[in-house]
Amino acid sequence: MPRTDRFLAVDVEGIDPSGDGAAYATVDGRRLSIDHAIPGERVEVRIAIDGGEHAVAELTRVIRPSPHRVTPGCPYFGPCGGCTWQHIAPDEQRRLKEQGLQALLAQSLGRAAPRVQPTLDPATPWGFRNKVHFVLGAASRAGGLVLGHYRRRSQSIVEVDACPVHAGEGNRVAFAMRDALVRARIDGATPDGRRGVARHIVVRATETPRETLATLVATRNDPGLRRVVSALLAAPGPPDGLHLNVNDRPGPYPFGPETRRLHGRQRVREKVAGVSFLISPTAFFQTNVRAAEAMVQWVVDHAGEPATALDLYTGAGLFALPLAGRGARVTAVEENDEAVEDGEASRRFNRIAETACRFVRARAEDLAGGRARRAIPGAPDLVILDPPRAGCPANVLNWICASLRPRRIIYVSCNPQALATDLRVPPAAGYTIETVQPVDMFPHTAHIETVAVLARL
């Protein structure tokens, strides 16, 4: 069926889970998602219909603007897929996130849904991303190189010369590396990784102390990259550590299995809640360190002074090490080898005894299923959960609530929909939801980090 377009004026009624404005087409009741629209606005949209139920509504004109509409602070906002809410005032961004989280909890828990607390927002909405990540690609079919971010819902690249949500020092190092790649005539790679060399630049720019760790992701260790390394190290303010990661696999995920240190530090230091964390170039660590500091401090303050704690999906010990530093005996469980190595290196660097914080290489799902159960000593006073975006598997939640039965459970979630579903289990197992605390980890997006505290009745 041929594509047809039509223009409609619609009232924006809310926000959908992806952060787009939600409206209904008055002609046929079709549900619309509208980029860059704000609840309460009346807007004109162009609807492109592909012949099925799917319709894409493109905002063409704001007829009645929201009082919360502001001028975006980035010249690339709109085409760039990194930020989706720069057109909304920061206070309204937080209100919409709280409102959406409250609605999901109410839908899942009914009258048992707790009231969401005001959002923790410790950071300025600019320069907050300590992990600076740019995509590299081919400038044309003939080669060349461009640096930028993925276009929304696409793997094409929006070329940029600035990114105001990134830490300034990280931007400086990344653009210096781009310039060195261009001078060395290194081609950007195609999305499938089959042609070209340079794929990503990732820079960790720490807050305390001020250090930078730069990683170039390439399809292969091309001889021409030596000129890039020499130029970058000879320029003013070279990174404290420089690494090459080789990734020839298709897809947008940046890192491959092989990483080589080319210069300087193997890890950089980042201080959070009184603990110095040592971070490897490809290991996961929170992108927004100022928000992470507030979140970790909040978790420690609400932990209830446990004698023993179990931290599942611990990563590099973001919660485990600060708790151990305050006197708890913590067992930290993580399946990723690199994260465990970073966590153990951080434990030694901070002179925290292994008896105070012991890292266990294991999957939480395996422990819940009975495998390697001896790695968990007794029943802990506190369990901390920080699972992946998909949420916590049911067997893990049931094991915690029915078998371990700690006095307190603290659930840290990056996905409100998964959290709302998972929180059905603890009340049925004899736990009450004491509080739900959102943390604005990523301003200018619909994403929200949430911490829920559960207490055994």
Give pLDDT tens digits for 418-435: 999 999 998 889 999 999
Return the pLDDT at 379: 87
Is 89 within the bounds of a domain? no
Return the pLDDT at 2: 44
Per-residue pLDDT tens for 187-238? 999 877 788 999 999 999 998 899 999 999 999 999 999 999 999 999 999 9
Domain termination site, one of 270, 298, 328:
270
User: 152 and 20, same structural domain?
Assistant: no
Per-residue pLDDT tens for 291-313? 999 999 999 999 999 999 999 99
Q: Is the pLDDT of residue 278 over 50?
A: yes
Domain termination site, one of 235, 270, 305:
270
Q: Is the pLDDT of residue 51 over 60?
A: no
Return the pLDDT at 55: 62
C-alpha pair distances (Å), 41 with each of 4, 99, 110, 364: 25, 17, 29, 46
- Domain total of the chain: 3
Is 35 within the bounds of a domain? yes
DSSP secondary structure string for all residues of 273-291: TTEEEEE-SSS---S-HHH
The domain in which residue 169 lies consists of: 131-270
Q: Which amino acid is at 249?
A: R
Q: How confident is the model at residue 272 (pLDDT cuts 50, 70, 90)?
A: very high
Q: What is the chain's alpha carbon radius of gyration, rounded to the nearest angstrom?
A: 24
DSSP β-ladder status, 258-264 and 241-246: antiparallel
Report the 10 Å Cβ neighbour count for 348: 12
Q: Is the pLDDT of residue 1 over 60?
A: no
Query: Which residue matches tokens 């002179």?
Result: 351
Q: How far apart are CA 128 and CA 443, in angstroms?
A: 9
Q: Is the pLDDT of residue 49 over 80?
A: no
User: 331 and 202, same structural domain?
Assistant: no
User: 349 and 314, same structural domain?
Assistant: yes
User: 188 and 115, same structural domain?
Assistant: no
Return the pLDDT at 53: 54
Is 82 within the bounds of a domain? no
User: 114 and 18, same structural domain?
Assistant: no
User: 433 and 300, same structural domain?
Assistant: yes
Return the pLDDT at 143: 79
User: 294 and 186, same structural domain?
Assistant: no
Phi, psi (rounded to 5 degrees) for 105 = -65, -40
Is 295 within the bounds of a domain? yes
Domain harbouring 21, CATH code: 2.40.50.140
Which of 47-51, 79-83, 176-180, 354-358 comes out lowest in average pLDDT? 47-51
Peptide bond into 388 cis (omega under 30): no
Is 69 within the bounds of a domain? no
Domain termination site, one of 270, 305, 320:
270
Q: Which residues of 252-283 are buried (b: 16+ CB within 10 A; e: fewer)?
A: eebbbeebeebebbebbbbebbebebbbbbbb
User: 309 and 438, same structural domain?
Assistant: yes
* 445 burial via Cβ count (<10 Å: 0-12, 13-18, 19+): middle
Mean pLDDT of the chain: 93
Q: Is the pLDDT of residue 5 over 80?
A: no
Return the pLDDT at 251: 80
User: 135 and 109, same structural domain?
Assistant: no
Is 79 within the bounds of a domain? no
Residues 6+ apart with CB under 8 A from 231: 180, 183, 184
Is 102 within the bounds of a domain? yes
Domain harbouring 246, CATH code: 2.40.50.1070
Residues 6+ apart with CB under 8 A from 348: none
User: Percentage of the chain surpassing pLDDT 70?
Assistant: 96
Helix axes 168-183, 225-234, angle to 10 degrees: 130
Tokens linked to 74:
């980035």
C-alpha pair distances (Å), 259 with each of 197, 266, 281, 331, 371: 15, 11, 8, 29, 31
Return the pLDDT at 299: 98
User: 240 and 114, same structural domain?
Assistant: no
User: 433 and 307, same structural domain?
Assistant: yes
User: 19 and 150, same structural domain?
Assistant: no
Is 169 within the bounds of a domain? yes
| 3-state DSSP of 120-139 | ECCCCCCCCECEEEEEEECC
Per-residue pLDDT tens for 388-422? 999 999 999 999 999 999 999 999 999 999 999 99
Q: What is the dihedral of CA 171, 177, 182, 184, to 10 degrees?
A: 170
